[in-house]
A and B are shown apart, each in its own frame.
Chain A
Amino acid sequence: MIEVKDLVKKYGDTTAVDHLSFAVEPGRITGFLGPNGAGKSTTMRLILGLDRPTSGNALIDGKPYRDLRDPLRYVGALLEARAVHGGRSAFNHLLYLAQTQGVPKKRVSEVLDLVGLSAVAGKRTKGFSLGMGQRLGIAAALLGDPEILILDEPVNGLDPEGVLWIRQLLKALASDGRTIFVSSHLMNEMAVTADHLIVIGRGKLQADMPVGQFIAQFSDTAVLVRTPHADSFRAAVGERGWSVANTNDAGALIVTGSTAPQIGELAAERGLVLHELTPQKASLEEAYMELTRESGEFAHRSAPVLGGSDGRA
């Protein structure tokens, strides 16, 4: 269980994390989504005690990370930034970590085997590819057999086979009842991996809900409506508890939480003329972009670019 309470992190004038509160529950994969620069990595670093919060706190099973004894046995973490000395072999890197926790040496070989790096265990890590480095990071995260895993962009740099491997590994770990918190800037990856989503933009919470609900709320059920009776229509929709929003196109409204037939029937019931009634087939990716567009650090009105390196996002 990870709890983030009213967390704030400022770097000078920049607010990277802005009064963020959420909880990550065990037994499921919680996806942590947001565009580059949204504050995902910073939030994870605050949870892991690497950075100090400006205010608020982040707790692991009720304690700050810095107060955990043998922390790698509670929490395994894969950070996005490189966290190994390139001159040290993979085996010795893991051996160091194991020794700090009183984890037996045999476990080092075990996790190297698990991630498929046994053959290069004695090689210095500076020669590792991005994918191998990522596998080493996962090995380090699994070393202490932790109940909680925090993974920052784990599929970065992996080939399709590796992406599938991570996905299956995370699902297996979650079904053990472990707490899995995994960040990504790719909605589609999260849609197939995560059970629950926490979406942030500019350090602020945008959504915290099951993936199914996110899909229902932000994609298929949006309906575009044109009516000359906008005010009466809004009132009628409001009575049903659906939400309605303006669009950039004056005169067009977007209704969410309902379907086109339901809206048509409501309009007929109230005698409201409709000029257009179009279900919006937005993909999940589009829905997510829509949600975070305004809040991305490098917000583009036309085409949000979600690729590339994330840095301290």
Chain B
Amino acid sequence: MAARDSVLTPTTMQAAGTGHAHFGRLLLAEWTKIRSVRSTYWSLIALIIAFLFFSWLFPYLTVSNWKQATPTQQANLIEDPIGSIMSSGLFVGQLAVAILGVMVTASEYSTGMIRSTLLASPHRVRMLAAKSIVFALLILVIGEVIAFAGFFIGRQTFKSLLTVNLSSGDVRQVFGVGLYLGMLGLFSLVLGSLIRHVAGAITGIVALLLVISNLIQLIPGRVGKYLYTYEPTNAGFAIIGKRLPDNFLISSWEGYGVFAAWTALLWALAAYLLVRRDA
């Protein structure tokens, strides 16, 4: 048939491979997906601007209002200057990562793209793994870059008031920004995959980050302390803290471990449901 010779037979195809599709192919394909939509760029730009701006703003306001600060405030700052550089930027910037993470999975359902995805990659768990790795690594790398950029901006701004050094213990507070954001990105991605609805999943993650994580402190007694400590995002946020709040029951690394455990648990649930549910 002429058609086969002219248009239908590809001139560029190799024979179909044997064995399972290389995982590397899925990683490359998921990277193509992430870099080919605008929401990725908008969210990352928002993250970078918000984080760097607050890395400057908080130290700047501290320096210019130093005389009005109470002795306790002054003592806290001198004890943990890195925490005060990082925490306000991270608190705002994390929203961009959380929303993007949710969109990476949930928007596949709202647009119908998931059907194309699963036709191409019917081994669904491998697809979820590839997506998770690509997205978490992207956020981790960007998180570390802005963490160090923010640290230097903050240090410059504090210069007239105090010298900020990176002692071995404090390096964790800087690296922690990328670690926290990477894990939060993964946590949000998993939430999007579980909820499968963009607006619903965004509402869920924002409520968790801004409302639930704080309200939980109001519960009195030991139960309140446990809930506060083991709430996933509070636990994870401890990675950038030096002197953790009194109602936080575990160490920084333990907190990050709790966040990772939550994420792993939900990931396993998302993988199970992804295989079970109709697309």
Q: Which residues of A contact B (CB under 8 A)?
A: 45, 48-52, 65-74, 77, 79, 81-89, 92-93, 95-97, 99-104, 106-107, 110, 114, 140, 142, 144-145, 169, 172-173, 175-176
Contacts and interface: CB of A to CB of B under 8 A. Distances in A.
A45 B115 CA distance: 9
B226 to A, nearest CB: 39
Interface stretch (B17-25, B85-93, B142-150): B17-25
A69 B11 contact: no
Contact of B21 (A48, A69, A97, A175): A69
Contact of B3 (A66, A84, A172): A172
28 contacts: A49-B118, A49-B122, A50-B115, A50-B278, A51-B279, A70-B16, A71-B120, A77-B119, A81-B112, A82-B112, A83-B113, A84-B111, A84-B113, A85-B107, A89-B36, A95-B32, A96-B29, A96-B33, A99-B32, A100-B21, A101-B21, A102-B25, A110-B10, A110-B12, A145-B10, A172-B3, A172-B8, A176-B1
Interface of B: 1, 3-4, 7-14, 16-22, 25-26, 28-29, 32-33, 36-39, 107-108, 111-116, 118-123, 276, 278-279
A92 B29 CA distance: 10
B8 A72 contact: no
A101 B9 CA distance: 17
A104 B12 contact: yes
Nearest to B7: A114
B111 A85 contact: yes
B17 A102 contact: yes
Given A87-B37, A95-B32, A51 B4 contact: no
A97 B113 CA distance: 11
A51 B8 contact: no
A65 B43 CA distance: 36
A97 to B, nearest CB: 5
Scoring A52, A83, A88, A95 by chain B CB atoms within 10 A of each residue's CB, the highest score goes to: A83
A69 B28 CA distance: 17
B122 A65 contact: yes
B210 to A, nearest CB: 26
Contacts of B119: 48-50, 71-72, 77, 83
Nearest to B276: A52
A198 B16 CA distance: 31
Contacts of A86: 111
A72 B113 CA distance: 15
Contacts of A169: 3
Contacts of B115: 50, 79, 81, 83
B13 A145 contact: yes
Contacts of A48: 119
Contacts of B1: 172, 175-176
A50 B118 contact: yes
Contact of A70 (B17, B38, B111, B113): B17
Contacts of A89: 36
Contacts of B123: 66
Contacts of B16: 69-70, 73-74, 144
A140 B3 CA distance: 18
B18 A97 contact: no
Contacts of A144: 13, 16
A142 B12 CA distance: 13
Nearest to A89: B36
A175 B4 CA distance: 9
A67 B9 CA distance: 25
Contacts of B114: 83
A173 B6 CA distance: 12
Given A67-B122, A101-B120, A145-B10, 14 more contacts: A45-B278, A48-B119, A50-B115, A50-B119, A74-B16, A83-B114, A84-B113, A87-B111, A92-B32, A96-B120, A100-B21, A104-B14, A114-B8, A145-B9
Contacts of B122: 49, 65-68, 71
A70 B21 contact: yes
Most chain B beta carbons < 10 A, residue from A70, A77, A103: A70
A88 B111 CA distance: 11
B116 A83 contact: yes
Contacts of B10: 107, 110, 145
Nearest to A150: B119
A88 B279 contact: no
A136 B230 CA distance: 48
Nearest to B33: A96
Given A52-B278, A99-B28, A172-B1, A69 B17 contact: yes
